[in-house]
Amino acid sequence: MSENKNLIEGATGPWEIVLGLEVHAQVTSNAKLFSGAATAFGAEPNAQVSLVDAAMPGMLPVINRYCVEQAVRTGLGLKAQINLTSRFDRKNYFYADLPQGYQISQFEHPIVGKGVITLDLADGVSREVGITRLHLEQDAGKSLHDQAPSLTFVDLNRSGVALMEIVSEPDMRSAEEAGAYLKKLRTILRYLGTCDGNMEEGSMRADVNVSVRKPGGPLGTRCEIKNVNSVRFVMQAIEYEARRQIDILEGGGKIDQETRLFDTAKGVTRTMRSKEEALDYRYFPDPDLLPLVLDEAWVEKIKADLPELPDEKKARLIEKMGLTPYDATVLVADQDVAAFYEAVAAGRDAKTAANWVIGDFMAHFNKSGQDLKDFTITAPKLGQLIDLITDGTLSTRLAKDVLEAMVASGKTAPEIVEEKGLRQVTDTGAIEAVIADIMAKNADKVAEYRGGKDKLFGFFVGQVMKAMGGKANPAALNDLLKQKLAG
């Protein structure tokens, strides 16, 4: 591992943060992990609860094959080992939103073993983070404490929803790396279609393990920050928690291993339960379920059908399309954007297409707040616009205006060019006529220019452009203007 540039300066010298993440990712599936109940977000409370989810007497879990397929797909996407035999265990604890009194999870024998994720860091640097394991488990329901003064309401819609718990090695060394890890994991899950990654809807949540140590020293005692639900909060929580631990250690104290919560309003972490209060979950194999045995050919079939993943796509864009690593990283971060880009770039200059997609197009698109598939500027429409630049109809400057008009009106670039007469003027005669007119009206300035005041060139360009409604071909205008002013 290369030298860590992310050390935090303390009173006693530099400290290194050591981070591992456990991400709970909701499996994209129409039905729950062990029941046929629906999983859609935002349903009326307790509208998506089967007899199994409510843990009625005598009810039994039956594994959802599609959820298993999704877990395998995710494992393959993380370049991880797929365990052909895995097992479900019961994690026993009492809570009002845990109807069975236990969560069905995989403790000793997870479905997916070791894998790896490549982080794309800000300076174009890549770094690998190990995946320890991925296992399938049930989500719990939701306790609502704010519906009545002395009562707690329970919504079991989430009860039994399939989660993948994805555990990383303690390989990250900064909040930035943890953020990059979450973003990259989310991108991979979205490419695979195995989790929608919507953290605000609770589809992805992270438990963050934080410890600090002197560089090269032994690992420190860690604290686990539970259930953080955005990339930003994860990064804030880490910054706060690392500083808290350093302050304790530098003050001569020691870190208690404990579970903490991140208070998003105050930006601080707080004790949730200490090690002494840690629950004994009494894990044991769930006798209602047989060991999960996968057919190797089935796994191979899933592997063969995997989509192109972000790292591969990025490599291809760099090698085959000649993009810079930065452009490629930006474009592959979202599968839809990457596909959009590739549609725009097809048969066109790859770099120009990348500039337009990453630049003006993204600015308009982000402002719209829409989904890419609903946005008025489709890939063919953006392609048309670029074609008009390529064939000289539009200058880059005009094209920006046209794009803006396209967003506003929903019309195509050729329609707008036609309507507004925005076709750029390359007819030297027409441009010369305007230049002559401007020079005549500004004889004093012409004299100044000729007297050595070069900076006035821009003034003439502006005047001519203005007079021509911005339609003059910039290169032609420059050449002609220089010629005429030179006398």
Partner 1 sequence: MTIDLTRLTIAGARDALARGEFTAVELTDAALAAAERARPLNSLITETPELARKQAAASDARRAEGRAGKLDGIPLAVKDLYCTEGVLTTAGSHILDNFVPPYESTVTAQLFAEGAVMVGKANLDQFGMGGSNENSHFGPAVNPWRRRGDTTRLVPGGSSGGSAAAVAAGIALGSTATDTGGSIRQPAAFNGVTGLKPTYGRCSRWGIIAFASSLDQAGPIARDVRDCAIMLGAMAGHDPKDSTSVDRPVPDYEAGLEDGIKGLRIGVPREYRVDGMPAEIEKLWADGIAWARDAGAEIVDISLPHTKHALATYYIVAPAEASSNLARYDGVRYGLRVPGNDLNELYENTRAEGFGAEVRRRILIGTYVLSAGYYDAYYLKAQKVRTLLLRDFEQAFGRVDAILAPTTPGAAYGIGEKSNDPVAMYLGDVFTVPLNLAGLPGMSLPAGLSAEGLPLGLQVIGRAFDEGTVLKVGRALEKAAAFTGRPDVWW
Closer to partner 1 by Cβ: residue 273 or 441: 273
Tell which positions 166-225 bind partner 1, by CB under 8 A.
Answer: none
Instruction: Draw the binding track, 223-262, toward partner 1 (x: CB under 8 A; -: no contact).
Output: ----------------------------------------
Closer to partner 1 by Cβ: residue 65 or 254: 65
Binding region for partner 1 (CB under 8 A) out of 130-138, 190-198, 286-294, 448-456: 286-294
- Chain-centroid distance, C-alpha 480: 49
Q: Is 154 a residue that touches partner 1 (CB under 8 A)?
A: yes
Q: Which of 75, 99, 160, 179 is close enough to bind partner 1 by CB under 8 A?
A: 99
Closer to partner 1 by Cβ: residue 54 or 317: 54
- CB 342, min distance to partner 1, A: 44
Q: Is 101 a residue that touches partner 1 (CB under 8 A)?
A: yes
Residue from 131, 222, 195, 186 nearest 333 by CA? 186
Closer to partner 1 by Cβ: residue 85 or 324: 85
- CB 283, min distance to partner 1, A: 8
Binding region for partner 1 (CB under 8 A) out of 95-103, 163-171, 313-321, 342-350: 95-103
CB count within 10 Å of CB 245 equals 25
Q: Is 160 a residue that touches partner 1 (CB under 8 A)?
A: no
Q: Is 102 a residue that touches partner 1 (CB under 8 A)?
A: yes
**HEC per residue, 212-253:** EECCCCCCCCCEEEEEECCHHHHHHHHHHHHHHHHHHHHCCC
Q: Is 392 a residue that touches partner 1 (CB under 8 A)?
A: no
Binding region for partner 1 (CB under 8 A) out of 47-55, 66-74, 220-228, 235-243: 47-55
Closer to partner 1 by Cβ: residue 151 or 297: 151
Q: Is 152 a residue that touches partner 1 (CB under 8 A)?
A: yes
Q: Which residue has the tokens 């203007």?
A: 481
Q: Which of 65, 270, 273, 282 is close enough to bind partner 1 by CB under 8 A?
A: 282
Q: Is 58 a residue that touches partner 1 (CB under 8 A)?
A: yes
Q: Is 90 a residue that touches partner 1 (CB under 8 A)?
A: yes
What's the rounded Cα separation, in Å, for the pair 275 and 474? Answer: 71
Instruction: Draw the binding track, 2-41, toward partner 1 (x: CB under 8 A; -: no contact).
Output: ----------------------------------------
Q: Which of 43, 47, 51, 408 is close enough to bind partner 1 by CB under 8 A?
A: 51
Q: Is 475 a residue that touches partner 1 (CB under 8 A)?
A: no
Q: Is 162 a residue that touches partner 1 (CB under 8 A)?
A: no
- CB 156, min distance to partner 1, A: 9
> Residue 12, exposed/middle/buried by CB under 10 A (0-12, 13-18, 19+)?
exposed
Q: Which of 288, 387, 404, 415 is close enough to bind partner 1 by CB under 8 A?
A: 288
Binding region for partner 1 (CB under 8 A) out of 66-74, 92-100, 195-203, 438-446: 92-100
- CB 225, min distance to partner 1, A: 23
Number of residues that bind partner 1 (CB under 8 A): 30
Closer to partner 1 by Cβ: residue 287 or 421: 287
Q: Which of 123, 280, 305, 391 is close enough to bind partner 1 by CB under 8 A?
A: 280
Task: Using alpha carbons, list the distances in angstroms from residue 214 to 8, 220, 263, 434.
Answer: 10, 9, 27, 71
Binding region for partner 1 (CB under 8 A) out of 20-28, 120-128, 250-258, 283-291: 283-291
Site of interaction with partner 1 (CB under 8 A): 51, 54-63, 90, 92, 94-96, 99-102, 152, 154, 280, 282-284, 287-290
